[in-house]
Amino acid sequence: MAAAQPVLRSESVVLPPPPLDLPRRTALFLDLDGTLAPIMPRPDDVGPDPRRARLLQRLHAAFDERVAVVSGRDLSNLDYILGGGVKAIGAVHGLMRRAADGQVITREPHPGLADARRILVELAHCERGLLFEDKGLSVALHYRNAPGCAEAVIEAGERLSQATGLVLQLGDMVVELRTPGADKGAAVTAFLREAPFLGATPVFVGDDLTDEDGFLAVARLGGFGVLVGQPRPTAARYRLDDTHAVARWLEGLTSPAELGIPA
């Protein structure tokens, strides 16, 4: 019997917390900001954390290295924050991907990024609370510290997308213009075609709208998504309240008993 096609729910529903008794061959795909690390006022405020590094090491051992981080951040920044402890990484929303064997697959930056970069930098200079971020394959303008600028920033993003052909990516208090191509769902799908992820049941954990692509992908492939944060329309099947709840759940997954592995 064919599996039902996953759908993005049009309204918020009450979702239970994810189970600890996962299939023996499960692959974990984890977002960073808002999932493994709390959202901070500035992206640079997130740095290495020994407790997170130890948790990721235990997860790698428990899941036979079937653990990947899939984030909007660039690859070098993710390596810095994660202490180089994660081999498989999907960066810039999947536009750059490092396989578990170390091979890096990336796209060429879109030529429209030059104009978008110039205009977003100018906007950031006009308002003290706006923060510009350059990821190489995309550019972003954060308005978390200037929420009153939200409408103007989003409108600027929409116009730039239409003028340049860049993909407009709306996130948590950020507008991003990125090179067309893979998204987080495509990155997950690509990982699952390769060792050590091949044949595993995928689980994607994330908080942002950009993570919906990951939720949809794992649902199509027989797995499930876990939404982090407040209830909202989502394709995820389960939910956790915050990054602390994520850490507690992941720590529970490192127990041999929970994974059905003899102690």
Mind telling me the catalytic residues? Answer: 31
CB 83 within 8 Å of CB 69: no
Interhelix angle 50-62/243-253, nearest 10 degrees = 40
Strand partners, 201: 26
Q: How many C-alpha atoms does 128 have within 13 Å on its Cβ side?
A: 0
Which stretches does DSSP call E strand in 92-230? Answer: 96-98, 104-105, 131-134, 138-142, 167-171, 174-178, 201-206, 224-228
Buried b (16+ CB within 10 A) or exposed e, 206-228: bbbebbbbbbbbbbbbebbbbbb
DSSP string, 151-170: HHHHHHHHHHHHHH-PEEEE
CB 226 within 8 Å of CB 236: yes
Closest CA to 228 of 9, 38, 96: 38
